[in-house]
C-alpha cells in the first residue's frame, strides 16, 4: 500500500485501530457506515487522515467518505473534550423539556469547559423523557438538577477538587 502524507498523519495507535476496524468490517455489504461507526467507537472521532484510507479500502473516493462523515451529525472529526454528553432532541423529549435542558447543559458545560455537548435524535427512552447520555450511560427523566448532579464529578475533578 502506498502511503500519502495524510496517511502518515495518523498515529501508530490510530492506524492500528483503523486497520482492525477495516479488517473486521470492510467486507460487509454497505460497509461504509459500519466502518465509520467502528472507527469512531475505537478512537472517539474519525481523523481526517483516515478518510483516504477508508476510501481505498472500500473502493470509494475520499470525497464520498467525507460526504458521509459530514452529512451525519453523529460523526465527529476532532477528539471530544472529556465525556460526551448527548441530550435527546427527538419529539418525545422535546415535548418534555429537552430544549430547556439542552440550554442548561450548554451553559453548564461552557462554564466548566471539560465535556463535549452534542444533540442526539433519539436515545430510545421516549416513555421516560427527557433522556440524556453521559459517556456510555443513559439517564431518563433528566431535570436540570439531575443533569448538574451527573456532571458535577467531572467538573470537580477538572477543578482539582475531590469528587
HEC secondary structure over the chain: CCCCHHHHCCCHHHHHHHHHHHHHHCCCCCCHHHHHHHHHHHHCCCCCCHHHHHHHHHCCCHHHHHHHHHHCCCCCCCCCCCCEEEEECCHHHHHCCHHHHHHHHHHHHHHHCCCEEEEECCCCCHHHCCCEEECCEEECCCCHHHHHHHHHHHHHHHCCCCC
- pTM for this structure? 0.74
Q: What is the per-residue pLDDT across 39-85, written as a single tens digit (0 to 9) for each?
A: 999 999 999 999 999 999 999 999 999 999 999 988 999 999 999 99
Amino acid at each position: 500500500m502506498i502511503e500519502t502524507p495524510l496517511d502518515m498523519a495518523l498515529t501508530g495507535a490510530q492506524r492500528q485501530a483503523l486497520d482492525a476496524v477495516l479488517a473486521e468490517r470492510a467486507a460487509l455489504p454497505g460497509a461504509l457506515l459500519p466502518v465509520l461507526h467502528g472507527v469512531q467507537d475505537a478512537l472517539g472521532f474519525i481523523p481526517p487522515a483516515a478518510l483516504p484510507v477508508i476510501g481505498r479500502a472500500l473502493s470509494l473516493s475520499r470525497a464520498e467518505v467525507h460526504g458521509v462523515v459530514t452529512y451525519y451529525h453523529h460523526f465527529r472529526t476532532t477528539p471530544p473534550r472529556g465525556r460526551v454528553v448527548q441530550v435527546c432532541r427527538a419529539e418525545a423529549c422535546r415535548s418534555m423539556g429537552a430544549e430547556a435542558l439542552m440550554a442548561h447543559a450548554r451553559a453548564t458545560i461552557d462554564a466548566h469547559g471539560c465535556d463535549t455537548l452534542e444533540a442526539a435524535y433519539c436515545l430510545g427512552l421516549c416513555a421516560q423523557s427527557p433522556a440524556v447520555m453521559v459517556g456510555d450511560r443513559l439517564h431518563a427523566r433528566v431535570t436540570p438538577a439531575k443533569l448538574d448532579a451527573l456532571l458535577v464529578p467531572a467538573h470537580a475533578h477538572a477543578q482539582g477538587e475531590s469528587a
